[in-house]
Amino acid sequence: MMSAPERLKIRPKPATIATLLAVPAALAISRYEFPGRSTLTGFLLSPLMIPSVVLGIAFLRFFSLAQIGGSFWALSITHVIVVLPYALRLT
């Protein structure tokens, strides 16, 4: 179990990473026509279509099998994937 100060350290990093990934992706999707544009949009927005509980259990299972469950990196990757669609839609 993580303490509150540890959680506060983790939160800004995935949000920053998601924003750094989402802004160029959103600009490319909105400004340019390229093959696979709708596929890329669907892929980046797909975490919004999956219920949060299902997504959380899937990530827990995946990272536990990879033996990195509960680590800082697993939590950061999960947060980036969850936050990325929101950052993409806001840009």
Mean pLDDT of 40-48: 92
pLDDT tens column, 63-79: 999 998 878 888 889 98
Q: How confident is the model at residue 2 (pLDDT cuts 50, 70, 90)?
A: low
Under 8 Å between Cβ of 16 and 84: no
Structure tokens, 31: 């400004």
CA distance 68 to 42: 28
Under 8 Å between Cβ of 75 and 13: no
**Residue 12 reports pLDDT greater than 90:** no
Confidence at residue 22, expressed as pLDDT on a 0 to 100 scale:
94
